[in-house]
Amino acid sequence: MAETGIHDSTLDLAESAVSLRRPSWHEAAMCKGKTEIFFATPGERDGRRRRREALARAYCACCTVAEECREAGRMGREHGLWGGENDEERASAGFGPRSPHRRAVAAAAREARLSGLEVA
């Protein structure tokens, strides 16, 4: 049977679409499938948040793609813990989330703006 090239180009197109949706570092991330550790549940109390973030940071400390993850969290102005950095730490570095959901995050973002750290 002769090769038409149609099947190959369809696979290439599908692989390209996947790479546009998900960065390649996602596949190597230690957190894959464990989102409940890295993102707060509505109404999460401080003590539970600190314990959850400590566990998440332990994963990040051993992860080979933590730097790429941290950069994605900063550039996307994301919520949650990305590359070992939480919302408040990103906000303090000038990369606060678009809609802060905790007062401490809003205060850190405000302080970064006042000190000229916020990145547009």
* Contact criterion met (CB below 8 Å) for 84 and 57: yes
> Phi/psi of residue 118, each to 5°?
-60, 135
pLDDT bracket for residue 102 (50, 70, 90)? low
Least confident span in 25-29, 43-47, 82-86, 111-115? 111-115
Q: Is the pLDDT of residue 14 over 50?
A: no
- CA distance between the termini of the chain: 56
pTM, whole model, 2 decimals?
0.67
> Phi/psi of residue 31, each to 5°?
-85, -5
Domain residues of the chain, as ranges?
Answer: 26-114
Radius of gyration of the chain measured on its C-alpha atoms: 18
Q: What is the pLDDT of residues 31-64, one digit of tens each?
A: 999 999 999 888 889 999 999 999 999 999 999 9
Cα dihedral 119/77/82/47 (nearest 10): 110
Tell me the DSSP string of 2-44. ---SHHHHHHHHHHHHHHHHS-GGGGG-TTTT-HHHHSPPTT-
What separation in angstroms does the CA of 101 have from each of 18, 39, 41, 84, 110?
Answer: 31, 12, 12, 19, 13
